[in-house]
Amino acid sequence: MTPTTLVLGSSSVYRARMLERLGVPFVQESPDVDERAFDGLLGDLGPEGLALRLARAKADSLARPGGSRQLLCADQVGVLEVEGAPPRLLHKPGTADACVAQLMALSGRTHALVNGIVLLDEATGEARTLVDRQELTMRPFEEAEARAYVELRAPLDCAGGYRIEDEGVRLFERIRSDDHTGIVGLPLLATARLLREAGLLAP
């Protein structure tokens, strides 16, 4: 019997490194999904629903007719919810100035990182799903501190404009999370649960 191939549907080196910690063999493929095209669904789906919709879209983009692989896809939605204002999605800033501006919007406030995880059985179309959420509070800081951090680490490819695993942690006051690995973008407790359900990880 041919072993089932597990595919991590992501181009992220961060997610690949996280999945390696579970000791499950996998290959990595990049899904073809325009994530920004889904931004307008936040109001209808909420952060949790949007994260799952994006993760499922990634899995669907990789699925092959007649295939027999297990497709593991995740998406992280960062959202700032301020009373009296519509929820604001936190994107990968792309430029240093945008990164600083996003950090300043988060200064002294709490934002959420919501992960949607989908494990799609290519043969049956069955999808196992889980949602993971963390709430992170940044302490108040001045623009000079934000800019110094951005110049030091250039977290331009990270939603929110920071990396919790480097000096970015100094910007925070409090983190509420059942699984801190979800901050990086692949919550391992939830992922391990899905892999066990699919028989890909020993109990």
CATH number, domain of 62, equals 3.90.950.10
Q: What is the pLDDT of residue 44?
A: 95
Binned at pLDDT 50, 70 and 90, residue 161 comes out as very high
* CB contact at 8 A, 55 and 61: no
What residue numbers bound the domain in which 164 lies?
6-197
pLDDT of residue 202: 85
pLDDT band for position 114 (cuts 50, 70, 90) = very high
Sequence-ordered list of residues with C-beta below 8 angstroms from that of 70, at least 6 positions apart, any chain: 4, 5, 6, 7, 119, 120, 121, 122, 198, 200
Domain membership of residue 189 (yes or no) is: yes
Options 32, 39, 44, 75, the catalytic residue: 75
Q: Confirm whether 203 is domain-assigned.
A: no
CA–CA separation, 133 and 52 (whole Å): 12
Closest-CA residue to 89 (of 72, 107, 111):
111
Under the banding of pLDDT at 50, 70 and 90, the label for residue 184 is confident
User: Quick check: 34 pLDDT over 50?
Assistant: yes
Provide the pLDDT for residue 2: 53
Residue 50 belongs to a domain:
yes
Average pLDDT, the chain: 95
Is 37 inside a domain boundary?
Answer: yes
* Residue 44 designated active-site: no
Predicted confidence band of residue 115 (pLDDT cuts 50, 70, 90) = very high
Report d(CA 150, CA 152) in Å as an integer: 5
Q: How far is CA 136 from the centre of its chain?
A: 14
Q: What is the total count of domains within the chain?
A: 1
User: Which band of pLDDT confidence, cut at 50, 70 and 90, is reported for residue 1?
Assistant: very low
Residue 8: the pLDDT is 98
